[in-house]
Structures are given as structure tokens and as C-alpha cells.
Amino acid sequence: EIDLSADLFGQTLTSPLLNASGVHCQTKEELNDLANTSNLGAMVTKSATLQAREGNPNPRYYDLENGSINSMGLPNLGYDFYLDYVLQEQTKPTILSVAALSAADAITLLKDLQASDYQGPTELNLSCPNIVGEPQLAYDFEATDRVLSEVFSFYTKPLGVKLPPYFDLVHFDKIAAVLNKYPLTHVNTINSIGNGLWVDVDQEQVVTKAKGGFGGLGGTMVLPTALANVRALRQRLNDSIKVLGTGGVTSGADIFAHILCGADLVSVGTQVMKEGLGTYDRLAEELKAIMAEKGYQSLADFRGKLKEL
Ligand SMILES: O=C1NC(=O)NC(C(=O)O)N1
């Protein structure tokens, strides 16, 4: 029998699949839907900021033939709501995603979290590309080092980071050198490819409102970048740091590829926006069929075993 089980920081999941933060995870209804979704092994909340946020003006999400572009702007119900959810409501293993518009806010939020009763996994989003006037922090290696140094001077609970995609092998070396200094549970790679632009030729205009139409790219078009980031970070990070692969998954073969590149777990976003939560059942079946065809019993049989020529 094919075994899709995977480990989430000590919890055994029946499936290695998660939702990509931001997709179907902002409201209590959406989070409850995820909790009731078969073949979704674990779930991630929408990145929470200290104060609730409206986010950017609509239109802010646009479906493309080969993926998606979004400029949501971190709309969320606020950190207190999601902390209450993970403490009181969660019924499925859940990663609390948090974000901040400044290093100071990140410290404030994580100090509160450290003092709270929450003992579960948290993911610090260092890579939102859609806050007007704000950079993706993790593109600044020194700033990332400073923030993590301060965070880990007091934070003792499970903590990982959500990274933007890198496109230069030296950048993989640099971010890995920073991350390997800290007792991180995981990295989640990739966030959307920031500041893409789509043009509606008929209307001769952009398709999202904020930032003149510049937005984060997701979906099948980002799969090669996602696979490269999973592989490069797996090759460079300490074994103690897990890799959650995100980006470009539309099929079981894509999940197989992420795991072959070293992913411990795999999250799916844009395809769920297109196909709904039933995507997870289809992807699990497709992955099992590929494993059966190849004679693999478990994910460990092929995880990280991508061959070079
Ligand atoms: O980290 C994020 N990545 C995205 O692609 N979009 C959201 C957002 O804009 O809220 N945040």
C-alpha cells in the first residue's frame, strides 16, 4: 500500500500536502473548510499582522492561463484572531503564519507569541512582495540576519521562515549562510515571484490595481523557479531545517518533483484558486499512481534523490 505520510515537526500527517498561505485561509469559515479537506495533511493561516488589514484595493487577484498574479497587500483579520484560532479552534495540524511591516513589529508580535500558550509551529513571512513602499525583507541578507538574531535572542518555540525566490547561486549561498546560524524548524520556499506584470491587450491596461499592476506571480509558470529554490536550499541548509516546497504545483508529477528536489512537505496555492479544495484529492491520487508505477512505497524512498547527469 502506498504511504503518503509525512512529518510536521513531530506530528505525523497522512498527506504531505498543505495550502499555500494566503489561499483559502483568511476567515474562520475558510480555515474550517481546510480542516475538513481530505488529503490536506496540514494547513497554514493567512499571514497575520499585529493589526487587522484591509489590504490593497481590488482588483488584486487575477487568474492567468499559466498561473496567477496577486497584489493582495496582506489583508488579514489580525494576529489576535489567528492566535485564538490556533489555540482554541484548530482540529488539523496548523502552521501559524505571521508577517510584519517593520522589524519592530515582527519583534513585538513574536514577543507576544513567546509569552502566549501557543506551542505550535509558526512561520515568519519575510517575503510579501505586495506592501506598497516595502521591500521583500529576505532580499536584504544583512537585515534578515539582524531580525533573526534579535528574534532568536528570546524566541524558543518552533519557528520557520517563508522566503522569496532567489535567482542567483551566490544568493542561495548567502541566505543559507544566514539561516544556518539559527535553530529554524523549516524554510518555506518559494513565495510568489514578486512584481510581475500582466497586460490585458484588449483593454490595453494592467489587471490589478495596486502598484500600477505589479504583483506576485504564482502557478505553473513558477514551477522551475520553485524547484530550483527547493533543491538549492536543501543542498545548503543544515539537515535540522526542513524544507516546505511551494510553487507551481498543478499535478502529482509536480509534487513528486518537489519531493525529489528535497521537499519534506509541499503546498499548493494557485491551483486551488482555479480548481477548488478538491485539488488535494486529485493530487494525492496522481502522486500515489506515480509512486506505484515507480515501485516506491513511501516519500522517503525518493525524497532528495534527484539525479544529476
Ligand atoms: O507573502 C505574500 N505573498 C503574496 O504573493 N501575496 C500576499 C499578499 O499580498 O498578501 N503575501
Interface confidence (ipTM) of the complex: 0.97
CA of 197 from ligand 1 middle (Å) equals 15
Residues within a 6 A CB radius of ligand 1: 22, 47, 70, 72-74, 125, 127-128, 130, 191-192, 216
What share of the chain in percent tops pLDDT 90? 97
Global model pTM greater than 0.80: yes
Question: Ligand 1 pocket check: which of 60, 64, 74, 127 to mutate, most ligand atoms within 8 Å of Cβ?
Answer: 74
CA of 194 from ligand 1 middle (Å) equals 9
Q: Is 128 a catalytic residue?
A: yes
CA-73 nearest atom, ligand 1 = 9
Please report the pLDDT score of residue 191 as a whole number: 98
CA of 70 from ligand 1 middle (Å) equals 7
**Is the pLDDT score of 207 beyond 90?**
yes
- For atom 2 of ligand 1, the residue with the nearest CA is 128
CA-130 nearest atom, ligand 1 = 9
The residue annotated as part of the active site, out of 13, 109, 110, 128, is 128
Q: Do you know the residue count of the chain?
A: 309
Q: How confident is the model at residue 133 (pLDDT cuts 50, 70, 90)?
A: confident
Task: State the average pLDDT over residues 89-100.
Answer: 97
| Spatial contact of 182 and 148, defined as CB atoms under 8 Å apart | yes
Cα–Cα dist 97/264, whole Å: 18
Mean pLDDT is lowest, of 126-140, 211-225, 246-260, 284-298, for 126-140
The verdict on whether omega for the bond into residue 131 sits within 30 degrees of 0, i.e. cis, is no
Please report the pLDDT score of residue 134 as a whole number: 87
- Mean pLDDT for the chain overall: 97
CA of 215 from ligand 1 middle (Å) equals 9
DSSP codes joined into one string, 201-257 = TTTTEES--GGGGEEEEESGGGHHHHHHHHHHHHHHS-TTSEEEEES---SHHHHHH
